[in-house]
Structure 1
């Protein structure tokens, strides 16, 4: 099997900007537009309780249904990316999200709300594993910067959304739904006009089943377990931090200002981090980053005052940036070419699983044992993840070397055929 890409993709990839192909800039545009216009999810609980008059518990279950659908979308997006192509999967995701959001915004009965919520979860993140697979199809030297740009663009969009959504919500939740729908359609238009197909030629003929391959891939399984642990640790902070700050006598405005530091630090620091960390050992970068998140989350649990909480956020944000710089590239090196989309889907699923476990574990520990125990657990978790990631370093280096050797062999074969 060769790893060539289509002539259309070759034409797009031939025009680099700042060292990155046009494909990556087009994907970055979809990430920015999708996040900047993704205003519904942040206000979904308020919409369900205030506009639909659901109880908080019922609204929470509806939001959880979106989260469960999100887990499925990562797996489905990876599978579709390998079967029908990266480009087609992204188009299905963005257009499907527009349809699902329209249905959710107009649903009146509980069965309609449930069905639309699951539909939103299944479609709204469908593009992500397919886009990651498209970047993973690029030469190794371009991946780290490409994944970094996508992450930066998404966070810039998130910053825009957080600033504008609260202002626009006073004009009615219906406006938020329409903004989200239009953003999804604009992202689909960008994909249709600017994103070529990058799926390796011949991958549709191979069609190896994912599960038997993954079950034999102990390194992939170990990396998934570690990253589920990391995302559980990281994502619990977004649930426990407002509770800790409220208990310290700080209001929602202060919490919003402290959390805004996260987005600002990412937008400012991500490009610098890519330049500094691109040539570093990926396993070391990931291990240190996980340790920083554990230390930052631990300090946040025992902090007092605005400055203390702000300092903890900046520390775990540094770790968050480090993980983002090497996450996609590391998992891309683990993936067989014909299963690249599905492997990237599995990698993205670790975030979704952590998004379920993190809030549950963090709030339960805070409620049952208090902030000191929560802080200690976070710090210990960071240390455990550090050593676990470092233990996998030799195996990751061998897999990356084998991956590069395979790419060189395929390139030699293409050169001989030409």
Structure 2
């Protein structure tokens, strides 16, 4: 029988110390994410803004986030992970305090715009750091653990934010800013710069990514196809923030009931996420993502028939299972589809899909609901889930081939023997020997039968944001 100690070792053992500093930073940052939980209530009740004005402020936060992920991705590759993340956190902490002290609508709106920009600029740097410090074979476990920390911190923040708001709303902004600073200091001191040197082309400055980086991303059809599928999933997933509370209100349920029902999402993730890596290890990554899309679609689709708190609770538990399958598989796949010298930019573009979904999902959901009805909205979510699942199955092999090619281009060649061979004989041997996959170090693993596996094999790679947060970004 497997002991608790053995399970814990398989789940969290052997990961680099620098990962645990990043993990600690994630947990501290999420424990202080007060403002995100109560911003709409703060703007309408404390500041007296209308619902439309509050929506404008929150929308500007999203616009700033879209700009931040793009700029942050570029700086992550050009300037470095550590300075980008540290500067972004300092700026976000300053703007958090500014937003808390602002009174006029224009000041609040500008503060939200800049806060979104600085806060989201840190996301590509953090994601690139995670990929840099964790070996490929351990990334599935690492991203699952980080996603678990995000949800644990976020769940606790909701409770702590309610207590802090009773004392003083300004306390929400002060504590949130303080946790940002603590996170930045931990990573700046304990993790340091993780960007590795890349091959310098003629005429290229040292440490600079190759020219035409944007063109490389825009012509990477495999990567952009995956980003598009994530956008579809995010449009469905984010309906739980905008349209789900409205649907529950139409069923005669109170906001407190919505809070209790949606809390099931965080509870299930905290309880079960650490078991997911073992569950999906060695399985086809495309199949896992397709299953996740179907499960999320079914969960949101059943909302069309829900009319009581217990029924809504079941739907939340179902789509949460899909979310739990989707997040680690997404994160590891993005890590493998990102060239090392463009890792920050790729992380930024992927995070941008969450920002776009955050702005579009409530508008699109509201339009569908008004024009076609509540049932059409949720059944439409189920249809999108089914389409996304099929697309994952179709595009999966191309993604895995791309991941293999990128890994082969970056892994060092390991000599087969220590025998020294004269140059002519070595050349002849190289010309006649059959081609074999070469691995080294922590990436070494036996080949797998499934070329789309997630077990760390040469064929499929190791077994991703939300929105991010790497983690899908929450």
Taking structure 1 as the reference length, the TM-score comes to 0.91
Cα distance per residue 1:192-250 (max 9 Å; x no partner): 22112111213623433332101221111111111111100111122221111111122
Q: 83, 92, 99: which one pairs with 2:94?
A: 99
CA distance in 1, matches of 2:112, 2:188: 26
Q: Is contact 1:67–1:352 with CA below 8 Å preserved after alignment?
A: yes
Q: 306, 309, 317: which one pairs with 2:312?
A: 309
- In the other structure, the counterpart of 1:387 is 390
- Runs of 4+ residues deviating >6 angstroms: none
CA distance in 2, matches of 1:400, 1:278: 17
Q: Is contact 2:290–2:389 with CA below 8 Å preserved after alignment?
A: yes
Alignment pair present for 1:241 and 2:237: no
Instruction: Look up the SS of the partner of 2:34 in the other structure.
Output: coil
Displacement of 1:17 after TM fit?
6.4
Cα distance per residue 1:343-384 (max 9 Å; x no partner): 011111111111112111222222222222122211111110
- In the other structure, the counterpart of 2:344 is 341
- In the other structure, the counterpart of 2:233 is 230
- In the other structure, the counterpart of 2:51 is 56
Counterpart mapping for 1:164-179 below 5 A? 164-179=160-175
Cα distance per residue 1:177-200 (max 9 Å; x no partner): 111111111111111221121112
Uncovered stretches (5+) of structure 1, i.e. residues with no partner: 1-15
Q: 178, 186, 191: which one pairs with 2:187?
A: 191
CA distance in 2, matches of 1:374, 1:158: 27
Q: Is contact 2:77–2:209 with CA below 8 Å preserved after alignment?
A: no
Moved more, 138-147 or 228-237: 138-147
CA distance in 1, matches of 2:396, 2:336: 13
- In the other structure, the counterpart of 1:28 is 23
Alignment pair present for 1:145 and 2:148: no
Say how many residue pairs are matched. Answer: 400
Moved more, 362-371 or 201-210: 201-210
- In the other structure, the counterpart of 2:8 is none
- In the other structure, the counterpart of 2:177 is 181
- In the other structure, the counterpart of 1:353 is 356
Distance 1:410 1:158, change over 3 A: farther
Which structure shows the bigger proportion of residues in helix conformation?
1
Cα distance per residue 1:238-294 (max 9 Å; x no partner): 222111111112212221111110001111111100222233221111111011111
Moved more, 195-204 or 330-339: 195-204
CA distance in 2, matches of 1:40, 1:194: 27
CA distance in 1, matches of 2:175, 2:38: 13
- In the other structure, the counterpart of 2:7 is none
Displacement of 1:411 after TM fit?
6.6
Q: Is contact 1:231–1:354 with CA below 8 Å preserved after alignment?
A: yes
Bigger Rg over Cα: 2
Counterpart mapping for 1:7-406 below 5 A? 18-137=13-132, 138-202=134-198, 204-406=207-409
CA distance in 1, matches of 2:113, 2:286: 36
CA distance in 2, matches of 1:278, 1:131: 24
Q: Is contact 1:49–1:56 with CA below 8 Å preserved after alignment?
A: yes
Uncovered stretches (5+) of structure 2, i.e. residues with no partner: 1-10, 200-206, 421-474
Instruction: Look up the SS of the partner of 2:208 in the other structure.
Output: helix
CA distance in 2, matches of 1:320, 1:329: 15
Instruction: Look up the SS of the partner of 1:40 in the other structure.
Output: helix
CA distance in 1, matches of 2:338, 2:188: 26
CA RMSD of aligned residues (A): 2.0
Displacement of 1:410 after TM fit?
5.9
